[in-house]
Amino acid sequence: MKKILIFSLLVLILAQVSIAVMDGSETMVRSMPSSVGAGQQFTVTYKAIGTSGDYGVSVVDTVTGGCTPSNLKFVLTSPATTYQVTMTAPSSGSCTFSGDYKYGTFDVKLLTDSTISVSSVCVPSTEICDGIDNDCDGQIDEGNVCTCTEDWDCTAWSECINSKQTRVCTDLNNCGTSATKPDESKDCSVGGKMDVCQYFEWAKGIDDKNYCAWGIGIVGFGFILLLRFVK
Number of residues that bind Ca ion (CB under 5 A): 9
Give dist(CA 171, CA 181) in Å, integer: 8
By beta-carbon proximity to Ca ion, the closer residue of 64 and 144 is 144
* Residue 84 φ then ψ, to 5°: -120, 145
Shortest reach from residue 117's CB to Ca ion, in Å: 17
By beta-carbon proximity to Ca ion, the closer residue of 61 and 127 is 127
Shortest reach from residue 82's CB to Ca ion, in Å: 17
String of contacts with Ca ion for each residue 117-156, x by CB under 5 A: ----------x--x-xxxx-x-x-x---------------
By beta-carbon proximity to Ca ion, the closer residue of 137 and 208 is 137
Give dist(CA 202, CA 189) in Å, integer: 12
By beta-carbon proximity to Ca ion, the closer residue of 32 and 48 is 32
Shortest reach from residue 135's CB to Ca ion, in Å: 4
By beta-carbon proximity to Ca ion, the closer residue of 76 and 122 is 122
Please check whether residue 42 is in contact with residue 131, taking contact to mean a CB–CB distance below 8 angstroms: yes
Interface residues for Ca ion in 19-78 (CB under 5 A)?
A: none
- E strands present in the chain: 27-31, 35-37, 41-49, 56-64, 71-77, 82-88, 93-103, 108-110, 114-119, 152-154, 164-166, 169-171, 185-187
Give dist(CA 71, CA 113) in Å, integer: 14
Please check whether residue 117 is in contact with residue 140, taking contact to mean a CB–CB distance below 8 angstroms: no
Binding residues (CB under 5 A) for Ca ion: these are 127, 130, 132-135, 137, 139, 141
